[in-house]
Amino acid sequence: MMAGDDSHMAALPTAGAGLEQALMTRDAVPSISVNGLCKAFGTGQARTVALEQVSLTVHPGELVLLMGPSGSGKTTLLSIMGCILRPDSGQVAIHGEVVTGLSEPELCRVRLSKLGFVFQNYNLFPTLRAVENVMVALDLKGVSMSQARERAAEVMDTVGLGDKLMSLPEDLSGGQKQRLAIARALAGDPEIILADEPTAALDSVNGRLVIGLLRDLARQRGRCVVVVTHDNRIFEFADRIVRIEDGRINISEMNS
Amino acid sequence: MTLIIAIRNLLHDKVRLVVTLTGVVFAVVLIAVQSGLFVGFTSATSTVIDHTDADIWICARGMRNFDVTSPLPLEAYYQALTTPGVLEVRRLVVQFANWKKPDGGTESVEVVGFELPSGMGKPWNVVAGSVDYLSLTDTVIIDEVYKGKLGVENLGDSVEIFGHRARVVGFTHGIRSFTTAPYIFCALPIAQTICNLRESKFTYVLVKTSPGVSVETVKRSLLEHVNGVDVFSRAEFSHKTQEYWMFTTGAGLALLIAAALGLVVGVVVVAQTLYATTMDHLGEFGTLRAMGASNGYIHRIIVIQALVSALAGYTLGISISFVIVQFSEKGGASILLPPWLAIGLFAVTLGMCVGASLISINKVTRLDPVMVFKGR
């Protein structure tokens, strides 16, 4: 089956112009650029090297899978790209802005304005309604409650959860939870989506739905999407597959 | 949105919310009752002074409080009377005595004898009978709260004080004595008779100053004109008496320590439960940090949780406290909860809960957002 056949997200507004523009600027300003990253944890005998001289560039409109065995450093790389973890050395640039030396409040600003996250375990707020989970992302950006509610409802409709606005996360299926998490990541309209094992807890149908959504974000809306995964079922959706082993990038290949 | 998150977090675990509120309520009631007792007792120690329309009090040198003092010589009265700036001078007797109850038991009472014409030192809040009846021979007025204690049932009942017969001709409401010896109001000559004082002896000289003359000026003049006495303004005398009973004796300190213990208990209970709530939602706070939430945003959620707990706990606690105050009016103990104390207690409760949230704030401030990628 072709990746495109699973495009459940017909509701996603096609942003051809966005993609076109993204492709036009592809060579000029990458979404994420990391260069010579090194990161180790622990000290002395317990010191473990997680990343060693890792360099990678991801462009707008591209869906990149980061793959590798457990402990290979892919989540560490994702954390550093997401401005959540600081590298020991090397440089990270988000849309051309070098963020490596920024203070914690400045990194918060970068995360808030440019990045959206999707987590393996969804990380939804269990006490909030589905729509409120999405509204939180907008509230962080200072959007008023009424506008946030309206925008959250729109985004939830986009991911096929228009009828689940008032549901609690516990009342949603795994696939619905992950789509809600994607809606939350999308609400603030970030340029970059970073996803950690987004399909790991899902069956094949829901897994394809979720990765299809992420693929459409890249293709139709020109977003840069980086996905850490072990899931072989989603290879076909990727533009590029980057394989990491022992903290180094072994292979970076375009997906045919 | 922070308000919604905070309230939902609190309501998420209802048992924990009940524990939190119980802690706040317990602290509020304990602090309110102990502080109310402190205010009530403090007020009771000087209640006669505060309700007597005298600008200046003259007493025996070395006097330490209103209730225990030595008699003054008659010269003090006349010397005061001839002091410049003095408008009116009256004598007052305050002396402990033994009250014999109809069933044969005895109670210690504090006789307050005043000069009837002036009314300086007369009882207030008279709810039955009249102060005017004190002009009749051998008559007294007591507070209704001490009826049972003194074995009095009705107006006109006969009583015996230091072997002298007297009749009860009035009841007051809310005149409590700190010393536990009820005040017995009567005319000066009766008080002198009951207390075996010669007609020339009394314990206080009460002074009213002439219009336009400052109390301080008259006080200085009295100190120059009257031999062997101490002279106080009403406020000074009131304060001196309050300070003696509440702090020199340690009674007030014990109440304040109990109130402080209430505060400590409240802080500990609220801190523990808020911290447990924070730990329950740590993953969500980590997610917020990863999403770009500032420390301020997350702190706001925790502080709102604390404030909501404070508000709910205070509302319950102060309501219970007011019920206790109502009950206390029927007993000997005087618990006062004036508006300023209730408002102050609200501020203390807010401070207590926000203070208790600092541990949680410290925890989330140190939160590493990378936890969101490590699974939960």
d(CA A70, CA B164): 100
Residue A48, in any domain of the structure: no
Residue A85, in any domain of the structure: no
What sign has the CA pseudo-torsion B345, B14, B272, A123?
negative
* Chain A residues with CB-CB distance to B373 below 8 A: 75, 78-79, 84, 119, 196
- In a mutational test of the A interface, the residue from B373, B374, B376 whose CB has the highest number of chain A CBs within 10 Å is B373
Average pLDDT over residues B286-300: 89
Nearest to B356 by CA among B302, B280, B279, B286: B302
3 state SS of A24 = helix
Kindly state the helix (H) or strand (E) to which residue A205 belongs, with its residue range.
Answer: helix A204-221
Cross-strand pairs, B208: B88
Residue in A closest to B297 by C-alpha? A140
CB-based contact (8 Å) between B288 and chain A?
Answer: yes
CB-based contact (8 Å) between B373 and chain A?
Answer: yes
Residue A42, in any domain of the structure: no
pLDDT given at position B316 = 95
Residue A248, in any domain of the structure: yes
ipTM at complex level: 0.82
pLDDT at B237 over 90: yes
At A218, which CATH number? 3.40.50.300
CA atoms within 13 A on the CB side of B141: 29
- CB within 8 A of A104, min separation 6: which ones? none
pLDDT given at position B278 = 78
* Chain A residues with CB-CB distance to B294 below 8 A: 105, 108
- The pLDDT tens digits of the residues spanning A139-195 come to 999 999 999 999 999 989 888 888 999 999 999 988 899 889 989 988 888 999 999
- Is the Cβ pair B297, A111 closer than 8 Å? no
Nearest to B249 by CA among B55, B67, B51: B67
CB-based contact (8 Å) between A132 and chain B?
Answer: yes
pLDDT at B318 over 90: yes
Please tell me which of the candidates A112, A121, A145 has its beta carbon nearest to residue B1: A145
Annotated domain spans of chain B? 2-44+250-373, 62-227
pLDDT given at position A236 = 85
Domain that holds residue A179: 59-69+109-254
pLDDT given at position B178 = 82
- The pLDDT tens digits of the residues spanning A187-205 come to 888 999 999 888 887 788 8
The tokens describing A189, both together, are 């309209």
* Chain B residues with CB-CB distance to A198 below 8 A: none
pLDDT given at position A8 = 41
- Is the Cβ pair A119, B373 closer than 8 Å? yes
Report percent pLDDT > 90 for chain A: 45
pLDDT at B67 over 90: no
* Chain A residues with CB-CB distance to B287 below 8 A: 117, 119, 123, 125
pLDDT tier for residue B170 given thresholds of 50, 70 and 90:
very high
pLDDT at A14 over 70: no
Residue A95, in any domain of the structure: no
Locate all alpha helices (DSSP H) within A73-127, ordered by sequence: 74-81, 104-114
Tell me the nearest-neighbour CA distance from B372 into chain A, angstroms: 7
Residue A130, in any domain of the structure: yes
Please tell me which of the candidates B4, B288, B369 has its beta carbon nearest to residue A84: B369
pLDDT given at position B319 = 95
Q: How many domains does chain A have?
A: 1
pLDDT at B88 over 50: yes
- Is the Cβ pair B372, A119 closer than 8 Å? yes
pLDDT given at position A27 = 52
pLDDT given at position B216 = 93
Kindly state the helix (H) or strand (E) to which residue A175 belongs, with its residue range.
Answer: helix A174-187
Residue A238, in any domain of the structure: yes
- The pLDDT tens digits of the residues spanning B24-36 come to 888 888 888 888 8
d(CA A229, CA A241): 10
- How many CB pairs (< 8 A) connect A and B? 75
pLDDT at A13 over 60: no
Average pLDDT over residues B137-151: 91
- Is the Cβ pair B373, A196 closer than 8 Å? yes
Please tell me which of the candidates B8, B290, B375 has its beta carbon nearest to residue A127: B8
d(CA B96, CA B91): 17
Please tell me which of the candidates B5, B8, B373 has its beta carbon nearest to residue A79: B373
Residue in A closest to B376 by C-alpha? A121
Phi, psi of A13 (to 5 degrees): -60, 125
CB-based contact (8 Å) between A120 and chain B?
Answer: yes
Higher pLDDT, B276 or A36: A36
pLDDT given at position A62 = 92
pLDDT given at position A16 = 42
Residue A100, in any domain of the structure: no
Tell me the nearest-neighbour CA distance from A2 into chain B, angstroms: 30
- Is the Cβ pair A84, B291 closer than 8 Å? no
CB-based contact (8 Å) between A193 and chain B?
Answer: no
Q: Mean of the per-residue pLDDT values for chain B?
A: 88
